[in-house]
């Protein structure tokens, strides 16, 4: 029987990636496989409701990226290790696997595609590229400041700085989150992985057009999504990416913002089902 709710019938397991790091994941549903790649400050719990909805149509593999949740970590981080994690998870499936990634997780999924992994379809929600010099995106020195806050043990300040300066979240909203103990403690627990997502983004947030030559190796059919209520910078980035990929289309989903995976999975899921099942 297919899953009928968030994480229904999900089976928890782990695998060992090529560098020896243990990666935790949950598998649910049946049919063609879809791997969910989470964003910054997120683990597999953030996509649990979306996984439950998609598992009515697919075999869903929802995993904790390294350093998060129940997954292990390595002493020296490299984006290539995360791509190897994705390769190991793809190896679990019988047949082709599609990837869905959101925000910086979308860029990680895209990097996996450019690495030549066996990916059937690629669905990306608001990869946070900064393609114009208009003030959208993180300020100069952003990565260095995040590193400094984490080195000082100021995990909450690192979370606040990321949310306000990289995601454009109003400061009062972040302040209110501090009064949600479960939510805030989870975010603080993931703060040390912020440099990982900054590394995934590389030099793509400097207000320059995307280089087609960098991304053209992602020849897989791709759907790039943006939310109609999101900042125009996210929408502009999504259109720009669709324009440089060999086989891509862009769609705007009315009523959604950058937090759609957590806040509005029921509105996001139908577009993913339509594209990934086609």
pLDDT at 2: 39
Question: Cα separations (Å) of 108 from 52, 87, 114, 157?
Answer: 22, 12, 10, 25
Using DSSP, state whether 98 is helix, strand or coil. strand
**DSSP-derived secondary structure for 61-79:** EEEPPTTSTT----SS--H
Cα gap 230→258, rounded to integer Å: 6
pLDDT at 95: 84
Query: Strand order of the sheet with strand 119-125?
Result: 11-16, 22-29, 59-63, 33-37, 97-102, 119-125, 221-227, 248-253
Entry pTM? 0.95
Stretches in the chain below the pLDDT threshold 50: 1-7
pLDDT at 8: 52
**Closest Cα to residue 134, out of 256, 234, 255, 239?**
234
At 253, give phi and psi (nearest 5°): -100, 115
pLDDT at 6: 46
Helix (H) or strand (E) holding 241: helix 232-244
- Tokens for 40, please give them: 């910054």
């Amino acid at each position: 029987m297919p899953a009928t709710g968030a994480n229904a019938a999900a089976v928890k397991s782990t695998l060992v990636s090529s560098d020896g790091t243990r990666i935790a994941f949950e598998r649910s549903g049946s049919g063609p496989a879809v791997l969910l790649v989470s964003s910054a400050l997120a683990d597999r719990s953030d996509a649990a409701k979306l996984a439950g909805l998609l598992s009515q149509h697919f075999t869903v593999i929802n995993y904790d990226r390294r350093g998060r949740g129940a997954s292990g970590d390595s002493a020296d981080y490299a984006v290539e290790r995360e791509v190897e994690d994705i390769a190991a998870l793809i190896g679990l499936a019988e047949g082709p696997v599609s990837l869905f990634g959101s925000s910086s997780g979308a860029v990680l999924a895209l990097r996996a595609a450019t690495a030549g992994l066996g990916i059937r379809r690629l669905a990306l929600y608001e990869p946070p590229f900064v393609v114009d010099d208009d003030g959208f995106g993180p300020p100069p020195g952003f990565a260095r400041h995040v590193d400094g806050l984490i080195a000082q043990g100021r995990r909450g300040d690192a979370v606040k700085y990321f949310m306000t300066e990289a995601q454009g979240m109003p400061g009062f909203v972040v302040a209110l989150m501090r009064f949600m103990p479960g939510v805030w403690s989870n975010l603080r627990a993931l703060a040390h992985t912020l440099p990982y997502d900054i590394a995934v983004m590389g030099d793509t947030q400097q207000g320059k057009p995307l280089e087609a030559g960098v991304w053209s190796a992602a020849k897989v059919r791709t759907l790039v999504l943006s939310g109609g209520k999101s900042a125009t910078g996210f929408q502009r980035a999504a259109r720009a990416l669709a324009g440089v990929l060999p086989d891509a289309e862009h769609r705007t989903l009315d009523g959604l913002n950058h937090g759609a995976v957590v806040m509005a999975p029921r509105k996001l899921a139908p577009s993913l089902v339509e594209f990934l099942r086609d």
